Amino acid sequence: MTQSTAQKPIYKVFMLISGFAFLGSTLFGAIGLFTNPPNQATDATAATQSQDARQQLQKQAQGYEAVLQREPNNQVALQGLADARLQMNDLKGAIGPLEKLVKLNPDRDDFKTLLAQVKQQAGKVEKK
């Protein structure tokens, strides 16, 4: 019986510590619910980030267009312009640079495939 009596105080202390830990974590979570604003702030942040990304893509496209005015056959600028326009979902705008890339690189099947896909998608968008 001495073993059982010696374990009872340790058991009580352990239960007390466990109870306080449980209550503390519950209170911490509840306080977080009331102090953090709802998802409206994250929605506004996401919209702002989306606008910033679009503006950045537009600036990149303008930069590539400036390079292409000086060097109309610059393949890096053509690829960059096509990529920027595709990321902005400007399918019609991406067709021109892609056609020029296909003309400059008739052996590149990836350019031909991408051009065909973009034309197909642009046709679907036009029909809607």
Q: What is the mean pLDDT of the chain?
A: 83
The residues, any chain, with a CB within 8 Å of residue 112's CB and separated by 6 or more, are 102
Write down the residue that tokens 């019609």 correspond to. Answer: 92
What is the pLDDT at residue 54?
A: 87
- Length of the chain as a residue count: 128
Q: What is the pLDDT of residues 54-82, one digit of tens each?
A: 899 899 999 999 999 999 999 999 999 99
Q: What is the pLDDT of residues 4-46, one digit of tens each?
A: 666 778 888 888 888 888 888 888 777 776 776 665 556 667 7
**Residue 66 and residue 59: Cα distance in Å, rounded?**
11
